[in-house]
Amino acid sequence: MLSGDAGRPHGHCIEGLGILPTAGAVRLRGGADRVEGTVEVYANGAWGAVCSSHWDDADVAVVCHQLQLGGVARAWTRAYFGEGSGPVLLDEVRCTGNELAIEECPKGSWGEHNCGHGEDAGVSCTPLTDGVLRLAGGKDSHEGRLEVYYGGQWGTVCDDGWTELNAHVVCRQLGFR
């Protein structure tokens, strides 16, 4: 098996291109760079989308790991990075976060879904650099305690003097609209 970056599938040789994806390969499409985008999986000879029903940070952690991207894994829903190509191939993905590939995760049957491309799943795998922010301890990826990465570790941001304006800035930094 050959490995590539997030924009290149993993697989076997093919005429002209040199790579043919294997079943269960993943790629990201439509993001600003190679570490984010709409998730697409390869099955039965075609690329297709993943529905964002129950899509969460545990699912995204597996996708980032499968693509060999480290950092902060964040789930995006409702075709945030645009609609995927091909058919919707996966729905009801429920990874624990410990799987090595999305095909190992509990999920609906391949090709069976109850959603359209407007619900395509997305992912961002933000590299860990000083100043990266995350929300921790919330019920979902849109709430929680604000933490900042600095000097190789995560720390909590003190709320002394914290204002609503600060919260709006952080929300924009985290990609919320």
Co-location of 58 and 91 in the same domain: yes
Co-location of 15 and 77 in the same domain: yes
| pLDDT tens string 11-50 | 444 445 556 678 788 999 998 888 999 999 998 888 999 9
pLDDT at 7: 47
pLDDT at 13: 44
Co-location of 73 and 46 in the same domain: yes
Q: Considering the domain boundaries, does residue 38 fall inside one?
A: yes
Q: Are 7 and 18 in contact (CB under 8 A)?
A: no
Domain count, the chain: 2
Q: Which domain holds residue 168?
A: 133-173
Co-location of 73 and 142 in the same domain: no
Q: Which of 152, 61, 50, 59 is nearest to 91 (CA)?
A: 50
Co-location of 56 and 121 in the same domain: yes
Co-location of 23 and 51 in the same domain: yes
| pLDDT tens string 99-133 | 999 889 888 777 677 888 888 999 999 887 788 88
Co-location of 119 and 146 in the same domain: no
Co-location of 57 and 21 in the same domain: yes
Co-location of 16 and 97 in the same domain: yes
* CATH number of the domain enclosing 108: 3.10.250.10
Q: Considering the domain boundaries, does residue 6 fall inside one?
A: no
For 57, phi then psi, to 5°, come to -65, -25
pTM greater than 0.85 (yes/no): no
Co-location of 61 and 16 in the same domain: yes
Q: Which of 99, 69, 80 is nearest to 7 (CA)?
A: 69
Task: Give the single-character DSSP code of 71.
Answer: S
User: SS3 for 1?
Assistant: coil
Q: Considering the domain boundaries, does residue 1 fall inside one?
A: no
Q: What phi-psi label fits residue 7: left (phi over 0), alpha (psi between -120 and 50 degrees) or beta? A: alpha
User: 41 has which bridge partners?
Assistant: 26, 48
Co-location of 103 and 160 in the same domain: no
CA dihedral 25, 28, 29, 32 (to 10 degrees): -160
pLDDT at 19: 66
Q: Considering the domain boundaries, does residue 62 fall inside one?
A: yes
